[in-house]
Structure 1
């Protein structure tokens, strides 16, 4: 069985489903290295996003996952790391 992966498309879908997007923010653009706050996502929206990721992928994320991973690129890497660790367990 292969390990599922979490990609930018997954993150943008979950962000849009949970919190929508601010006017003027193009989630289809080059957002990998933009801070979530710059993209218009505050703590409540990010908590919702974390919960959705946990439910959809069957993993647990640390409470400070967004504090430590302030950009989509960093969060995607953290989620994929957790998915790999979960698959290896």
Structure 2
């Protein structure tokens, strides 16, 4: 009788352990899927952000080139004013550097 109870108890424990292993495998699989989905979302967001910044960078570079051309043309059209402006900027920088 005691042997039968012991065998039944062992069987019950073995069944419970098998069930816990199965549940643990299921939870592990779900966590892995969620982690993978999170990684995919983060990667997609990073890619979109990179593309957005790349486009903005191109627009900014184009605008800087345009403004540089405008400044160059203005300097060529008004050489005396340009020389006076550069001298004035140099003087201001020199005064600021002395402080």
- State which structure, 1 or 2, has the greater radius of gyration over its C-alpha atoms: 2
TM-score over 0.5 for the pair: no
The TM-score normalised by the length of structure 2 is: 0.24
The TM-score normalised by the length of structure 1 is: 0.27
